[in-house]
Structure 1
């Protein structure tokens, strides 16, 4: 495996897309300082997952994006693409070429991809870690990394070996397992607390459950007793309804019978009324009347006879009367008799017709009466049949309503069960399944956040330590400046001149000396370095007068300005003119005009002949950089001399400059510390948030498991209830269908019956017949009266005609035979006397007949009175029958109302049974009816006794009241809580088992890491001991474990002893030795656990040519097993490279790259 190519787009100084093509072997990247060579190393580290901005030499991660220049604008993102040749399958992925890319946007969004597929940072790290490329990036040795390797703690050095040995993935797995264990411990604590809380709740809830169970038992007794009493009420009501319906049927039958009796009495009443209106009494009355008329006529005849006797007696005595009756009169009277006889015949014929019509009407009435009686019987039977069919329909409809009510109850129960099932399934479907990937992501987030927090904290601690170091250095510098300022504060006469006009200050303060020449210039000036510097001679004189006047002491005053120009120093070979190393006023330069500076005393002595040759032997002053003074006649030097004022001023100025710089740096570092503190706070917040999210996820997961179990239990219960309700519903539907079929049959029978016409009691024909009979009788009576009247008139006319004829004959005889008339009259007289004598017995007989007629009339009237009494009795009977009929009808209506009320009460009871107990009538009667035995807790069942059940109900209700307030949900809550406690106990057991498994995993990981680490350490130690003599000829070195008894936590100490040196600490090594020691350690790791490639950034910069050669020998050895990319300035390093890349910085601030493959033997 080796790096194949690296593409940078907008990464740091690489604004333009730039691609490096790498080959196996050594690739050198060269270029001037600041051209962007190290940015290539940063790009490699960044694309492989580096998260530390400081590691990438930046303040924040956004610094890797090209920030722009004066001629080019900034970019919005940085992208690096690394292509790895995986032909050997070193990376655990099924591709011969693997491309890893990372993109960062200015808004902070970061994207990773493997072969173009978006992925996570963890995926990239895990992919690389299997090939020995961990997050510590030991394969990338950047600038300053060598020193960090040696300054690293023993534990950090252990990390290098662990990363190279591939232990980090096991340690990460262990850390992940430990976090799980810690989270599990939190869950265990929570579960234990929750289980304890539930146990504390179980006891009081158990008591409530016992009370609820007892209340449930009592409620069962109450329900049983109420059900039995309710069933008894239903049976009683049903029996009463049946009895009332039976009574109603009987009353209906009785009403029909009474109605028939009433009709019969009405018929008899009509018959009697008809008889009362018949002609029997009238006939008797007419007979009596006729007899009375006959008697009256006989009496008249008797009177007439007596009158005639008197008359005839007088006539006989008188003359023959005149004829008063003529023949015409007799003929007329006889004609009248004949006409009247014809009328009588006509009336008799009419009477016969009337009598026949009366007989016909009477026969018709009798037939109608018989037919009405038959119709009444048919109507009664029809009403009975109709009542029976209607009762059957009502019963069938009642069964249908009951069955439908039962079906509706089951439907409602089923709908409720379906709703509960659907609700449970909806809630189950609505539960967001917590994916295990989410847990892994959360754990990764926790790991990343903790790593970032630790890194931020480490950075903060390092920054604080650096800040404290700088503050201590600042305080030392401030103290040094203060001390030097006090030392420079002159207390002689010059101090009294401070601030005077024309006085510039001390000479040393006005002189600026090049660094390194302060001692030499101070020696050249001598005591004048502390002299007062005046603007002019006059100012100097005035100042001196002031000193004298104030007795301030002695003072040297140097003129800043002179009358003429100061001569330039003559150049002397091997010497520096003092004037060339100072910047000072003309007067001071004049003092130093013949002063020369030599490197040391030997150089001064060697240069003195040149001074003599230049003719300056008398005036020249030679000073060394260490402070010795050589003149023609003087040599001053040695140890113990106090530093001059110039030296002190220079030291003060240098300290002041350092103080200002370090103060500025401290301010920047303080800001950085504040930023790091904010970053630490943010990182800790992110870590805490990630841990809170993970814990919340675990809590949600536990809650979801519990909710799923609860919902599944509810769903399963609803499904079981649905199955039971479906079976009951099928039975109910069958019952409804059966009842409906029976109802339909009853309705069809009733409709068929009603379709047949009801027999009609048609009395209109009888009324017509009665009217016809009455009319016929009245007509017959009229005709009879007319006939009798005609007969009577016929007799009277006949008698009158005969009488007229006789009177005519008598008169004629009297006329013709006057004598005979008298004889005749005598005869008439005799006859009249005979009639007068004959009439009394006839009258007596007639009187007797009249009396008999009156008797008959009385009898007829008595009969009529009897008929009237019978009529009155029949009317009374009719009234009684009507009243009875009305009472029966009212009774029937009352029974119907009672039946309706009882049915309503029964319906109310059945609704109560359905609502309170969920029972239909059949089930209620079958299970709790009075005929059903009452089961006993102990003993055999006993018969139903309402009083006992009422007492039992009252006792149970009293017991229920004594229980007081009952929590009806206690049983369910207790069962749920107990189930939850059991569930939590099982969960605790599972967690304990899982905890044991995790501990086992940790133990296995520790054992595995220990074995891998010890093997890697021994291999690295052996490689280090082999490599060190190559880099340090004759030297020795060792790797030691700080705590061999604890291989999992021990650190690694590095011991290096160059030949001829006795060094106990690595910090005492020189810079080159330190670099070689660090390289030795890294190369030992590289050889013990080779990686596919290594990136070295100017690791040989501090090495001399000899040591560089030794390092290149090591690199040549690494070339055989690994690919190397080296950032270098060394020509010898470039010579061993297989490919060269030159990086330069263009004028627009963008790095440009030129590549060249180096052939064997070519430079």
Structure 2
């Protein structure tokens, strides 16, 4: 299967449809950073089933859809299509009939992804398995990036095992094994749950059988309760009807009283209305007089308030005049202070100006002295630094030589120790080598274990079949038991019902004679027709109606036609002897009709079907029902049922015994199956253990060979390093002897340091004098500026004081004018007060007269109100009596309706039909209400003591048994499925180990060769660590670049790590080639020489296999080695475009030109 093209639409920055052709050889993708090159690789991973948005550099999967730019709107859809050539028919079976495959993945914003293969929608799982079987996928090792290389370098050995799994082609195998393990765990969980459910259902089935028997008794009790409740409700209904009639009569009397008192109340209301109509005019007159009095009173109070306000205004004017005098005095003082301050500041400014005349000359002299000493100090410091550097360089060189000599000596000691350790390790490893005899013995053990495991599986399967047959036999016998139990339950329920019916009409004091009679089967109807209701009479003498025992007739009259007397078929008390001896039994109705004319007085003829002929001509046709006949049939049927119950009970006991025996055999079969399966599991475990032991021995032998080779190479390297260390130590000793003596240089620098200290002290003194002059000049300038500001401030203060004095004079004059006006107001107010006093006196007289007239009218109205209230109270009492009467009527109606509803609810019939439901006869006197209530309570209590009753128990038991049978079938299917899954997982593990071990050897061989090619020498190998099981072991990388010792990957330099990881990636790729290999800037950490080796290796791999290489690079040498180049540009911000150049075609055109 070969990849041919990649088409993108709306994916990240590729908003327009873009197609990347993936042809044979090397295809390069170039472009500046950020232009979208990596988006092409991510599109390839996305279409192959990548499900993590984080791996796509996004927060959610919708982020792969073009998000829009300033000039382009966002898209709602993205689609990537990967074209593949399936000419070699290497695709999975479901797709293998197609020559070309187009795998597409389409995502719509907010709706998720859809996968299609050649237009047909498929699952994401199908697409992932399609690529996993082709040794590629979204996280395949064939998609190599700088981050991928870094992950391999930093990964733990167990994490690197994924490379071997992909090389072995068991990535899909792992996925299938994981899926099978999940299904196995789910099936085992379901089996446990199923067994729990079956146990619970068995318990429930036994409970339902008990409930079915209880439901039959419950139904009989309910019938008795229904009849008793019907009698009780019938009596309550009659009482409610009587109460309702009495309430209606009382309501009529209350209505008449309300009409009479309503007329009296109307007359009193008329008188009250006349008196009330006269009040408004009197109240108006009184209100007007009171308003006039209020008006003049308020006017007087207004004059008092105005007088008070005048006094307050005069006091306020006096206070304001005093405040103004104080303000004038203060502002005059401020003006004088301003004049004095301005004079003092002008004098100080003149003195400062005189002092500044000589400061410029002094500052120039101090600056010149300071610069001169600074120049001297700089020259001395330069000489001191040069001498110090020369001494430090000599000391550093000496220390470096000493340190180098020490390091080389230590290195020689360390290398000597390593040489001894190497020899010791070689001896220990050679002593622990794997014995070939042990290897052969382990292989034989494995073969025996496999044979035992196969026999164990066959035995377990045979035991499972035996257990299934035993379970089927148990189900058959249990079904027979259930049928027998159901028949017994039906007989028991029928016997209980017949017994209840026979006991229902009995009297505890006088048992009827019929209960003492036994009749042959088939003659019940004849006896009932012959004696009828006479059989219900007792044989007790104290009873008001009873049978009296008489002696047999001395000379009985013979029956006509030699009929047999009925006494020959009936056994009963002696009281019936005379009656039965004179009743003949005929064969059929025609015989009876022929013989009836020959009957003597007192004689009768009956047939077995109930026809009756009496001596006086009374005739009853066959089939006429009688209670006695029915009761006799019921008694005979009860006896038959009880006899059948004994047989059924014995059959149930036998069936139960058979069920126990079958269950015992089934349990033994199940135990045998469990033992067989445990033996099979133990055999499988022994097989696995033997396989693991053989794998461990092989791995141990491989590791020993690898370690011996490594130790041999290490010994050679140690010898070379030891010679090199001795040479370097001699060179360091010679260089140390040739160094000059540093004593004279130290004396010179001490003298120079003392002179420099003296000059620096002189510099500090001159700097201090210069700074002092500058500070005095700065202070004088600052004071001059402050004096200028203060002069301006004091002049402003003086002018402000003058303006405020003028304003205060104006305010004083205005206040004195207002004081003169207020002085004449008290006299005016006193004149107005005297005039208002005379008006107040007249208004009070008018108001008192109007109030007296109003009080008299209100007294008359009060008396009329009392009369009206008395009449209304009487009327209200009558109305309340009427309301009570109506309430009683309504209550009686509600009680009647409530009783009707309760009857409908409890008995589902109308109250008028209660007598029929209770089976009451008109001529029979109703029992006492309290007695019938007690009977209902007793029956209900008896029913309640039964507790909850499941009336559908028998039906539910049948349904539950059918469910149990279905679950038993499911249990067998589930057990077989679990065994099949276990065998599948074991086979997957075995195949995975074999393929992983074979893959490891092949990958290790490729890695050794590729390492030498990429590094131009050296050696390297792979090792399995951390576990003896290849499926759980880690992958460690041991490498020795040219000139270095053998060590693990993490101890190499950065470039060596990258090149070693690349060698491993290519080794995996060569073991299990993928249709495509993507190299995303993997040449970035390599120098030019290594890039050249890398490109040569990739070219050879492309020519040797069928893999298409896609290389993303910034390196010019890599670009030059490509067969074709695609450039990714971003001419429009945020929009990627793809352009192509076929370099091989371009070279051909150039050569032809």
Using the size of structure 2 for normalisation, the TM-score is 0.38
Q: Is the radius of gyration larger for structure 1 or structure 2?
A: 1
TM-score, reference length from structure 1: 0.37
